[in-house]
Amino acid sequence: MILEYIVIGAGILISHFLNGTNLFEISGFKPDFMVIFVLFFALRRGTMAGIWIGFFGGLLSDSGLGGEIVGNVVTYKIGLHSLTFCVMGYIVGKFARPAYHENQISIMLYSLIVTLISRIASYFLFSLFFHENLNYSIISTSIFNGAIAPIFFWILGKLYRLEQAEG
């Protein structure tokens, strides 16, 4: 049991590392591997896995944002991705999991739609609590995630030896 959590934690760290690299960047567009990772576990394991992996993956993503000086105060954007990924993991695990079919088209569509909605929600939270970020890519990241999600799901399925979850 503990080893399983350590391996999932390592997957979260690797997803965070892949988000920080320019290895998969094409013309300035990069995928969001953390969204795909949370989506994979929410679809395969259900709501609780989606919530917890979304929470810790989101905290790690938020910690990479650093602080921002506004006036004489340094503000940190901790919790925005965490909230978004938790809610995404719960909703996908609760409502999308029963209708999930393991094929490339459904994986692409789930990834595209979930990434689009979570990026819009994150952008809204950034705008609400801080300021608008005009460099925050929404559509291009969603399309990129949809394109690479079947490959990433196949790799994660082999690494974690998870079979398709029954609804």
Predicted confidence pLDDT, tens digits, the chain (167 residues) = 788 889 899 999 999 999 888 888 888 788 999 999 999 999 999 899 999 999 999 999 888 777 677 778 777 778 888 999 999 999 999 998 877 888 899 999 999 999 999 999 999 988 888 777 777 788 999 999 999 999 999 999 888 876 555 44
62: helix, coil or strand?
helix
Is residue 23 assigned to a domain? no
Residue 167: the pLDDT is 45
Is residue 12 included in any domain, yes or no? no
Domain membership flag for residue 165: no
Within a domain: residue 116? yes
Q: How many domains does the chain have?
A: 1
Give the structural domain span for 142. Answer: 31-155
Q: With respect to residue 19, please indicate whether it lies within any of the assigned structural domains.
A: no
In a domain, 5, yes or no: no
Give exposure, 74-84, as e/b (b: 16+ Cβ within 10 Å).
eeebeebbbbb
pLDDT at residue 163 in the model: 58
| Residue 68, domain member (yes or no) | yes
pLDDT of amino acid 121: 93
Report pLDDT digits (tens) over 107-129: 999 999 999 999 999 999 888 88
Residue 64 phi, psi dihedral angles, 5° rounding:
-75, -10
